[in-house]
Structure formats: C-alpha cells, structure tokens
Amino acid sequence: MTDEYITISKAASKEIIINKSRFIGYASPCPTESDALLYIKKIREEHKTATHNCYAYIIGQNSGIIRYSDDGEPGGTAGLPILDVIRSRRIVNCCVVVTRYFGGVLLGTGGLVRAYTGSCQEALNAAGISVMKLTTDFYCALPYGAWDRFRYSSERLPVMIERIEYSSNISFHLLCCSKDTDTVLPKLLEASDRKLEIISHSESYMPWPEQ
C-alpha cells in the first residue's frame, strides 16, 4: 500500500477544434477497470455518430492496469498519446476518452498525435488534480479547557480538524497522514495536557491540498 497517489478531482470535458475536426476530451476518476469500461461505453453511446472514440486508462495505485485504443485512427496516433499524457502526469485511477468528429481535413500522423495529446491535456486540466494520501481519521474528544491550546498547536501541524461538535466536551475528527501519526500524535497529546481522548480511528485515502 502506497502512502499517496495522484488522480483527478472530478469528471470533466473540454472541446477543441483543429482544422475543422472536433475533438472532445472526457476525463473521469475510475477506481476500478469496470468503472473505466462503463465510462468508455457511456461516451460511445453519447457519440454513436463520431468518427472515433479513442481512450486510455490507468488503474491501480501502482499502475497495475494500463489499456488504450486508437479506435480506427492510424496506429500510435491516438490511444498511446493519450496514455502518455496521463502517465507523464503520474495520474492513476483515471480514464480519458477523446471523441473525434472528422472535419474533412487530414491532419497527418504528427497532427493527430498533437491533437489527441492536446485534447487529453485540456480534459485533465478541466478535471483538476487531487493528491490522495493514506489518512488516519481519529474520532476524538477533548475538555473545553484544553481546546484553545490544542487548536493553536494543531494549526501548526500537518493535520485537519473536521466535524466539530460541542456538548459536554468537544468532539471532532482529526485527520492526519498515516505516515505522520507517530510524529504528530505525541505533540498533540502534549498540547492537550494528555487530555486528548481517541475514541476510534479508521484509515482510507483522502484528498489533501498540495503543500
């Protein structure tokens, strides 16, 4: 299990026109190959009259599944350039489909590579990038008297505090990158005068802002 991986934030699309041909790039997060195949099928059904629906996807935190298709374009001019863009940006769990409506002007091999490369880049830019980090979510409780110092210290550490509830004490979710917990938790315990109570915890991948 890796500490982090890069994927896209949301599904998005972007259209460009090159020598009268329409290129519509679609990008979507796809955690599994089944998700990628369903996404490709969806785009193909939406564009049944398109000249080509070329695609590439990389699935798995270690890029374990890699597939691409030129869908009738000359070999190496569509699917592979799309894949190269995804791979160069170290993006995984992502599928990109580029739909082309031929405009009557031949682009040549180099022109096709540039067109599919550019369309993929535009789609990924529209989708946005998320850094997914292995994160431990600690559900915690703290007495009111220890809160101010604890919060002050937490703002200077690589943690996030979410879903704060005020009742007989203060309960909240403390999010910390799993690789940092051994360093961060002792500092937070000290800041709370060892009054921090960890009720439960779980681990999953979550998006973190780039630092």
Parent domain of 66: 4-127
User: What are the φ and ψ backbone dihedral angles of 116, each rounded to 5 degrees?
Assistant: -70, -35
Q: What percent of the chain has pLDDT over 90?
A: 87
**Is the same domain home to 66 and 19?**
yes
**Is the same domain home to 93 and 149?**
no
The strand pairing partners of 27, in sequence order, are 12, 96
Give CA–CA dist 88/71, Å, rounded.
22
Mean pLDDT of 177-185: 92
Alpha-carbon distances, residue 128 vs 11, 13, 29, 107 (angstroms): 9, 11, 11, 29
**Is the same domain home to 11 and 25?**
yes
**Is the same domain home to 79 and 25?**
yes
pTM of the predicted protein model: 0.81
Give CA–CA dist 76/193, Å, rounded.
62
**Is the same domain home to 102 and 193?**
no
Q: Dihedral of CA 178/209/84/49: which sign? A: positive
**Is the same domain home to 88 and 156?**
no
Q: How many domains does the chain have?
A: 2
User: pLDDT by residue (tens digit) across 186-206?
Assistant: 999 999 999 999 999 999 998
**Is the same domain home to 27 and 121?**
yes
User: pLDDT by residue (tens digit) across 91-134?
Assistant: 999 999 999 999 887 788 899 999 999 999 999 999 999 999 99
